[in-house]
Structure 1
Amino acid sequence: MYFGIDCGTQGTKALVIDENGTSLGRGYAPHALIERETGAREQQPEWWVEALRTSVCQALAQSPSKAVQALGVSGQQHGLVVLDEHHNVIRPAKLWNDTETAPENQQLVELLGGKQACFERFGIVPLTGYTVSKLLWLKRHEPENFARIRHILLPHEYLNFWLTGRMCAEYGDASGTAFFDIRSRRWTREVLDAIDGGTGQLFAALPPFITVDEPVGTLRPEVAAEFGLPHSCIVSAGGGDNMMGAIGTGNVREGVVTLSLGTSSTVYSFHDQPVLDPTGNVAPFCSSSGGWLPLVCTMNATNVVTQTLNTLGKTVQDIEAALAATPPGANGLVFLPFLNGERTPDLPNARGTLTGISANNFTPENLIRAAIEGVSFGILNGLDLIQSEAPVDRMLVIGGGSRSAAWRQLLADASGATVEVPLEEEAGCLGAAIQAIYTYSHANGHPKSFAELASRCVKVEATRTAHPNTALRAAYRQARDQYQSSLRIIYN
């Protein structure tokens, strides 16, 4: 038996599987969120630990036994957890969707010589939301807390530390910090020196790297006893939620695309070599399975659709009827869905905008379609950046948005790709569990490849597959062009 744990923004999920990927038990516990008008989005790391405890116990209560051989942890990317010399958390973790640090990100890019210089020197352009600007924000706004920093961890690394007592990093999640060179796979001290003045404080606070073949360790005796799990249970390196979602959708070889529609939306595809983008729109991340995972993230996705539905007094059940009743382009109504600022395009201070409103199109159905199209067109634009040289034939869609048949069909029609949905909805959990199997197999002298494990454990739900309707392709092309035109007019 193997465990996958996914610590996301809204909550922590746990999944127990057998060696064939069959679910044996699952659990969930929600997280609170600290939000401020300044753009701050924060959580206490202790909330993640308590949610892990709850979700793991729920999953084990459903499982036929507690003979878990290995577990893996998936965590929300870019979060900053800082510890003092006694390993105590100094302050709440600033999250991936925290836009309060936008001024610091701009200042840091300038300190490093500008976007082009950052790209040439480090292979990545820092964006608001990445971990690095949070450190500069701490120095400027909370200097006493900044001075106490002795350890810098990402969310999944903090949970690994709680589970095993060991601090370490892996390449996938580290590549989202912007103080990591994705080409040489090493921490970049000069980025941190620009923040702490070359004292070496921040660089010394970074954990060492392990490869995906290496376990972090085994469970601490106290943790094993609390859950009734074997102390010999291996904890794998884990990774960011997108990296684990890639593994959990079989995106471990070239030619597969994963699109995640959750609170944020991401699209990514495994590559054997780095994919570099000087504009910074494509995040040239490493994968957590030994390769690279170029990724585009938009910060506004299902949250925009949910808020639109709530404002109209509708529910998610009304999505199907609204899309069926309206044509591509929502009769000219365009929704730029930047309710939380935006990362791609890089508009951290943007706000949502409705354009093209007329007496004929200002209806609940068109508003719902416009919200869904705004979210969808934004992320499909990102997919075009990643796959600029090759059309996409197959796309696996995960996250809350994947549950809507009409939304899946919209994605298929607008992209021209066949859209499939994995049988296991919790791709982050499944990916973490598959990585745990991989690490366990290597540790015990019977190594298996990720491709082999994915072919065995990742299954597609055939009844939810959406094939593109070529008759609608031109209409969606026109709708996407109108979206781009509105974007240029308002933000250029």
Structure 2
Amino acid sequence: MNSNDEVLVAGVDSSTQSTKVMVCDARTGRVLRTGRAEHPDTTEVDPARWWTALNKATDGLLDDVAAIGVAGQQHGMVTLDDDGEVVRPALLWNDTRSAGAAADLTTELGGARAWAEAVGSVPVASFTVTKLRWMADHEPELADRVARVMLPHDWLTWRLVGGEPVTDRGDASGTGYFSPAKGAYRADILERAFGGRRPELPRVLGPAESAGRTEDGKLVSAGTGDNMAAALALELGPGDVVVSLGTSGTVFGVSEAPPADPTGTVAGFADATGRFLPLACTLNAARVLTATARLLNVELTELDRLALSAAPGAGGLTLLPYLDGERTPNLPEAAGSLFGLRRANMTPENLARAAVEGMLCGLAAGLDAVRAHGIEVRRVLLIGGAAQSESVRAVAPIVFGVPVVVPEPAEHVAIGAARQAAWALAGTPQPPAWQGNTAVRLDEPAEADAAEGERIRQRHADSRDLVHEL
């Protein structure tokens, strides 16, 4: 139970792999209680599994909570019929079956530049709009039943409060049929993508607006997407760029102007505060390390030791870790490739090092991309599960070429959702200033290692170009 002078808020992170809940002091952000429940490991899922996980993760945690915020994995497609029942299992962001639909839609609307100008982003298989096209083409009878389309966080918020479904501009900006620059849906794009159908969409709330209240009176905030919530938790300022190493890898920073990248590398998302969140994403991040550890038949701690035993550059090995296809660059059908293999460098140590360097080089390309769209990169904030890896911490400053700090381990998405809940509860113009994030600044590389970092990035870029040509 909380003390008499504490007001508590809860943040929910409904991610690809699990539901995490953080109960925080609304004034300071101090985490007081936590909960967790797992999700199925799949690329499509019945949304009811999220609801079950939410109830399990919050069991006994919310009795004295005044407000709740829900952040969810971006892009997922939740389709409902006229009775509010789910039409088909939700397709998640990492389901790449709609890659062909993404290419078709890009052409139909006039090419990548036209898309970037219309909605700030160029379609890839992750985006909701491409999944709707896939459904229209491959499941037309089910598509005919769809009366409403939601995102994962929209659906959970709706289950909490009922009434009119709502969303926020941050998560809506990842659908492919919402313009962040204009703050409005592009219903014409939705209709064209969905075979002439125009299902209802959630109303878009402002950053501090409330979605309503639960049956027992708890305020529920607008909610947002997972990357937007992480940015809110980290209180990003000018020069701060986040590199998040989870199931996927993301690179993002806040901007006052909406980006529109015709190459499709940078998605022109909105954030959760009224600004914008230029973001580059890779499909392959932490799982590159777990897959390499499995190949070498070692635990992750031993993978760290092996990688740290090899010199920077891994003896000339370059791994393009496109193990699940790739989104940046947009190569959904690609596979992983290992270049530079010679008898002299065929060691477990070099392979482990190449896996770490390859994963981070994909994110370094994302840093270059957001930098090219007006984001100043003074330092990298390294977060996510893989940020705790000793080898990742050693290699990141070499590969990124800028100072790297690692915030204290935390469930940043859930904490960002809680901060949004506190903001909605307070009704203030700006979110509450929570206690500062403590962070460890990683050692900067020696001059020779920094020069090797440039060579590592160049080899990775050359290998990437070769795969593009193939």
Task: Quickly name the TM-score band, shorter chain normalised.
Answer: over 0.9
**Partner amino acid, structure 2, of 1:128:** A
Shift of 1:33: 3.0
Q: Are residues 1:369 and 2:319 paired? A: no
2:454 is aligned to 477
1:467 is aligned to 443
Verify the 8 A CA contact 2:261 2:268 in the aligned structure 1. yes
Verify the 8 A CA contact 2:13 2:72 in the aligned structure 1. yes
1:38 is aligned to none
Secondary structure, counterpart of 1:267 in structure 2: strand
2:166 is aligned to 168
Within a 5 Å distance, the mapping from 1:48-87 to structure 2 comes to 48-57=50-59, 59=61, 66-87=63-84
Verify the 8 A CA contact 1:299 1:341 in the aligned structure 2. yes
**Partner amino acid, structure 1, of 2:466:** I
Verify the 8 A CA contact 1:15 1:59 in the aligned structure 2. no
Shift of 1:374: 1.0
CA distance in structure 2 between the aligned counterparts of 1:14 and 1:391, rounded to whole angstroms? 32
Within a 5 Å distance, the mapping from 1:154-193 to structure 2 comes to 154-166=151-163, 167-193=165-191
1:27 is aligned to 35
Q: Are residues 1:139 and 2:123 paired? A: no
From 86, 91, 94, give the equivalent of 2:91: 94
CA distance in structure 2 between the aligned counterparts of 1:319 and 1:150, rounded to whole angstroms? 49
TM-score, with structure 2 as normaliser: 0.94
Verify the 8 A CA contact 2:11 2:414 in the aligned structure 1. yes
Within a 5 Å distance, the mapping from 1:237-386 to structure 2 comes to 237-251=222-236, 253-386=237-370
Verify the 8 A CA contact 1:323 1:365 in the aligned structure 2. yes
Structure 1 residues 272 and 133, CA, compared in 2 at 3 Å: closer, same or farther?
A: same
Shift of 1:323: 2.7
Secondary structure, counterpart of 2:269 in structure 1: strand
Moved more, 408-417 or 22-31: 408-417
CA distance in structure 2 between the aligned counterparts of 1:393 and 1:121, rounded to whole angstroms? 30
Q: How many residue pairs align between the two structures? A: 458
Verify the 8 A CA contact 1:338 1:353 in the aligned structure 2. yes
Shift of 1:375: 1.0
CA distance in structure 2 between the aligned counterparts of 1:329 and 1:484, rounded to whole angstroms? 14
Moved more, 104-113 or 428-437: 104-113
**Partner amino acid, structure 2, of 1:211:** G
CA distance in structure 1 between the aligned counterparts of 2:305 and 2:121, rounded to whole angstroms? 42
Verify the 8 A CA contact 2:130 2:193 in the aligned structure 1. no
Shift of 1:13: 0.5
Q: Are residues 1:9 and 2:10 paired? A: no
Q: Please give the per-residue CA displacement for 1:38-68, whole angstroms capped at 9, x wherever unaligned.
A: xxx21110111111111111645xxxxx321
Structure 1 residues 52 and 318, CA, compared in 2 at 3 Å: closer, same or farther?
A: same
**Partner amino acid, structure 2, of 1:426:** E
Verify the 8 A CA contact 1:248 1:458 in the aligned structure 2. no
From 428, 436, 439, give the equivalent of 2:421: 436
Secondary structure, counterpart of 2:97 in structure 1: coil
Secondary structure, counterpart of 2:205 in structure 1: coil
**Partner amino acid, structure 2, of 1:150:** A
CA distance in structure 1 between the aligned counterparts of 2:376 and 2:239, rounded to whole angstroms? 10
CA distance in structure 1 between the aligned counterparts of 2:347 and 2:321, rounded to whole angstroms? 17
Secondary structure, counterpart of 1:323 in structure 2: helix
CA distance in structure 2 between the aligned counterparts of 1:480 and 1:274, rounded to whole angstroms? 28
CA distance in structure 1 between the aligned counterparts of 2:385 and 2:294, rounded to whole angstroms? 16
From 96, 100, 107, give the equivalent of 2:104: 107
CA distance in structure 1 between the aligned counterparts of 2:376 and 2:37, rounded to whole angstroms? 39
CA distance in structure 2 between the aligned counterparts of 1:53 and 1:249, rounded to whole angstroms? 27
Secondary structure, counterpart of 2:208 in structure 1: coil
CA distance in structure 2 between the aligned counterparts of 1:473 and 1:364, rounded to whole angstroms? 24
From 200, 206, 213, give the equivalent of 2:201: 206
**Partner amino acid, structure 1, of 2:92:** L
CA distance in structure 2 between the aligned counterparts of 1:138 and 1:467, rounded to whole angstroms? 49
Verify the 8 A CA contact 2:260 2:268 in the aligned structure 1. yes
From 377, 392, 398, give the equivalent of 1:413: 398
Verify the 8 A CA contact 2:248 2:284 in the aligned structure 1. yes
Secondary structure, counterpart of 1:209 in structure 2: strand
Verify the 8 A CA contact 2:120 2:267 in the aligned structure 1. no
Shift of 1:94: 0.4
Verify the 8 A CA contact 1:149 1:205 in the aligned structure 2. no
Shift of 1:121: 3.4
Verify the 8 A CA contact 1:26 1:58 in the aligned structure 2. no
| Structure 2 segments unaligned to the other structure (5+ residues) | 1-7
CA distance in structure 1 between the aligned counterparts of 2:408 and 2:61, rounded to whole angstroms? 18
Q: Are residues 1:449 and 2:430 paired? A: yes
**Partner amino acid, structure 2, of 1:490:** V
Shift of 1:390: 6.6
CA distance in structure 2 between the aligned counterparts of 1:123 and 1:305, rounded to whole angstroms? 32
CA distance in structure 2 between the aligned counterparts of 1:350 and 1:10, rounded to whole angstroms? 23
Verify the 8 A CA contact 1:169 1:209 in the aligned structure 2. yes
Secondary structure, counterpart of 1:91 in structure 2: coil
Shift of 1:393: 2.6
**Partner amino acid, structure 1, of 2:388:** R
**Partner amino acid, structure 1, of 2:387:** S
Secondary structure, counterpart of 2:123 in structure 1: coil
CA distance in structure 1 between the aligned counterparts of 2:102 and 2:224, rounded to whole angstroms? 24
CA distance in structure 1 between the aligned counterparts of 2:423 and 2:336, rounded to whole angstroms? 43
Aligned-pair identity in percent equals: 38
TM-score, with structure 1 as normaliser: 0.90
Moved more, 482-491 or 330-339: 482-491
Moved more, 170-179 or 393-402: 393-402
| Structure 1 segments unaligned to the other structure (5+ residues) | 35-40, 61-65, 222-230
**Partner amino acid, structure 1, of 2:185:** W
Structure 1 residues 390 and 135, CA, compared in 2 at 3 Å: closer, same or farther?
A: closer
Verify the 8 A CA contact 1:392 1:416 in the aligned structure 2. no
